Amino acid sequence: MANPFSDVMDLFEDESVPILSEVPLRSKPGFCYIYQWQESTKKEDWRRDDYRWKQDGTCSFVHDGVEGGKKLYFKLQIGLKEWSKQFKKSAYTHPTYEKKVLVLYEGDVSVVNDFCHGNATSKAKTEKAFHSTRPSLLKELKLTEGLGHPIKVYSDFVNKAPSSLARQEIDAPRDVKQVRNAQQVVRDRKRLSRDPICDLTELYYKTDFISDLLLFPTFICLCYHKPVMENFQNLIDRSDLPAMWLSYDTTFKMGDFYLSILAYRDTQFEQRPVTPLMHMLHERKWESSHDFFFKRFTEIVPQMTAVKKMAIATDEETAIVNSVKRYLPTVHWVRLLDSLLEKYENKAGILEHKHTAGVSKLQERFYPSSSTRF
pLDDT tens digits for range 254-274: 778 899 999 999 988 888 899
Rounded Cα distance, 5 and 69, in Å: 10
**pLDDT of amino acid 125:** 86
Provide the pLDDT confidence category of residue 183 given band limits of 50, 70 and 90: very high
Rounded Cα distance, 206 and 192, in Å: 14
**Average of pLDDT values for 122-139?**
91
Greater model confidence, 1 or 179: 179
Does the pLDDT of residue 358 top 60, yes or no?
no
% of the chain beyond a pLDDT of 70: 89
Which has the minimum average pLDDT: 148-162, 226-240, 328-342?
Answer: 328-342
DSSP three-state, residue 220: strand
Provide the pLDDT confidence category of residue 17 given band limits of 50, 70 and 90: very high
DSSP structure class, residue 49: S
Report residue 236 CA to chain centroid gap.
37
CB 306 within 8 A of CB 330: yes
Does the pLDDT of residue 365 top 70, yes or no?
no
Rounded Cα distance, 320 and 287, in Å: 7
Provide the pLDDT confidence category of residue 356 given band limits of 50, 70 and 90: low
Express each pLDDT in 19-45 by its tens digit: 999 999 999 999 999 999 999 999 999
Would you say the pTM of this structure is higher than 0.75? no
**Average of pLDDT values for 148-168?**
92
CB 53 within 8 A of CB 77: yes
**pLDDT of amino acid 360:** 54
DSSP three-state, residue 126: helix
**pLDDT of amino acid 271:** 85
Express each pLDDT in 44-53 by its tens digit: 999 999 999 9
Q: Where are the alpha helices (DSSP H) in the chain?
A: 6-10, 123-126, 135-142, 150-160, 165-171, 176-190, 196-206, 226-235, 287-300, 318-327, 337-350, 356-366
Report residue 92 CA to chain centroid gap.
39
**pLDDT of amino acid 195:** 78
User: Which neighbouring-strand residues pair with 334?
Assistant: 313
Express each pLDDT in 285-311 by its tens digit: 899 999 999 999 999 999 999 998 899
**pLDDT of amino acid 340:** 52
**pLDDT of amino acid 287:** 94
